[in-house]
Amino acid sequence: MSALLSVPAVASAADDPSATSLIKTSGTNFALDGRPFFVTGVNNHYLTYRLQAEVTRVLDDAVAMGANVVRTFSSR
């Protein structure tokens, strides 16, 4: 999942808007700022094709469900 490894860490950005932490690997696990990072996520295939308000609603719903990762793709 190389896309996951290059996604800016929302968890750090929530605490510090200027944060630029990235999810990295630590052995066979993921880590955020040296701490274990457990993926709780959802897939959404149409985020890149929707209006900003719809994308915001989907991401808000994901957060409300406890997701810390949203996987999507773009054919662009």
What's the pLDDT tens digit per position in 5-31?
334 444 445 555 456 788 999 999 999
Residue among 76, 67, 71 nearest 5 (CA)? 71
Starting from the edge strand earliest in sequence, which strands make up the sheet with 29-32, in order? 23-26, 29-32, 35-36
Q: Which two tokens stand for residue 32?
A: 């955020």
Distance of CA 45 to the CA centre of its chain: 14
Q: Which two tokens stand for residue 36?
A: 């274990």
pTM, rounded to two decimals? 0.59
Give the rounded percent of residues in the chain with a pLDDT score beyond 90.
51
Are 7 and 1 within 8 A, CB to CB?
no
